Amino acid sequence: MGVFSGSQLSWKTLAIFNRSLSTMLHSGVNILKAFQVAGSKSLDPQLKQASKQIVEDLRSGSQVAVAMREQAGSFPELMIDLIDVAEQTGSLPEVLLALAEHYDNLVRLRQTFLSAIAWPIFQLVAAIMIVALLILILGMIGGSPSEKPTDILGLGLIGTQGAILWLSGCFGTAATGFIAYKMLTKGMQGQTFVHSFLLHIPVVGGCLRSFAVARFSWAFALTQQAGMPIEPSLESSLKATANGAFIASIPQTVGMVREGEDLVTTLHATGLYPRDYLELVRVGEETGTVPEALQRISPQLEDEARRSLSAMTAALAWVIWGMVAFLIVFIIFRVFSNYVALLNELSKGS
């Protein structure tokens, strides 16, 4: 077992590793040498260690999928399942290339989201820091016994201590929310609850559903074309969605298919798939070409997922900008109110 047990490799590392393996196998390099070279040239120490152990297991007669599964969560289940089937059907180079493109796509989508949301988040952080600076400065200005310190927020936050409390409250709330989300989604029940809830939120739900359906379609087409039986194919494909609501539907989906229900009826029963998608599956099922149909529409589904991501990012950016605008307007109103109150006191004093 590897030193880095329990930590899954990054998407970027997986993309490079799968592409390297695919290229070497296509060129006629044997599987043992391919793992040696791909692992040794990787910059990820976890992958280096895992590859060394896989090579040792292969030398002792293990299958590739079995050796990879021994690496304690370093590789995604979908990748191992596909390699297992591909190894038996002789389509390993093609499957590895498809996996590389899949992980490359995930990396691009993440980068697109982060680059789009970076500027609004920077503006929000800047606004929070400016408020903290105002609290600090106004507290110092009103520091003499004859002057009453200005409470710009009306929350009793004045001077250095007030600025620290303001920053702690803002960033602490954000950190608490992030940690709570991570803890909730760590277990399957939490993932199911959180993702099911998010699917019902406008814009956000549409984006998550689009990505889940696109990943399901890609994985189901690939596993079916690789020769995987329908039940494990559905299970692996639903896990590939990385969405708790879809993963929770595995028992229902597999159970209905096992009882003889057709695929479109089974998917419709979960209530997770859009109507137009179900119609596409229906047509594919009637012609006996569901994997081929899903493979053909996969690029369209990915484009739709990207558009959904753009819409969600834009909506999130507007929410952040709205928070910044509210904060600015509130500060202006408070400063104006304090100024008017000061003028009233001066007029009464005169």
Digit-coded pLDDT (tens) for 250-303: 999 999 999 999 999 999 999 999 998 999 899 888 888 888 888 888 778 878
Given the structure tokens 């190894």, which residue do they identify? 87
Q: Are the CB atoms for 153 and 334 separated by under 8 Å?
A: yes
DSSP 37-86: HHHHT-S-HHHHHHHHHHHHHHHTT--HHHHHHTTTTSS-HHHHHHHHHH
Burial of 278 (0-12, 13-18, 19+ CB in 10 A): middle
pLDDT at residue 55 above 50?
yes
Span 112-131, mean pLDDT? 85
* Residues in CB range of 215: below 8 A, 6 or more apart: 237, 240, 241, 242
Provide the token pair at 306: 């990207």
Residue appearing with tokens 């359906």: 213
Per-residue burial over 38-65, b = 16 or more CB atoms within 10 Å of its CB, e = otherwise: bbeebebebbbbbbebbbebbeeeeebb
Contact yes or no for 86/92 (Cβ under 8 A)? yes
What domains are defined for the chain?
11-75 (no CATH), 108-350 (1.20.81.30)
Percentage of the chain surpassing pLDDT 70? 91
Measured distance CA(348)–CA(329) in Å, rounded:
29
Q: Rounded to an integer, what is the distance from CA 106 to the centroid of its chain? A: 9
**Predicted pLDDT of residue 349:** 58
- The pLDDT value given to residue 1: 37
The 10s digit of each residue's pLDDT in 57-94 is 999 988 898 999 888 778 988 888 888 888 877 888 98
Spatial distance between the Cα atoms of 204 and 192, rounded to a whole number of angstroms: 16
Distance set, CA 241 to CA 150, 234, 256, 310, 315 (Å)? 53, 11, 20, 19, 23
The pLDDT value recorded for residue 108 is 86
CA distance 193 to 181: 11
Query: What b/e readout covers 232-267, taking b as 16+ CB neighbours within 10 angstroms?
Result: ebbbbbbbbbbbbbbbbbbeebbebbeeeeebbebb
Please tell me the predicted confidence (pLDDT) of residue 350. 55
The reply to whether the predicted model has a pTM over 0.75 is: no
Q: Determine the Cα–Cα distance for residues 247 and 276; give it in Å rounded to an integer.
A: 21
Cβ neighbours for 81, distance < 8 A, ≥ 6 positions apart:
65, 223, 228, 232, 236
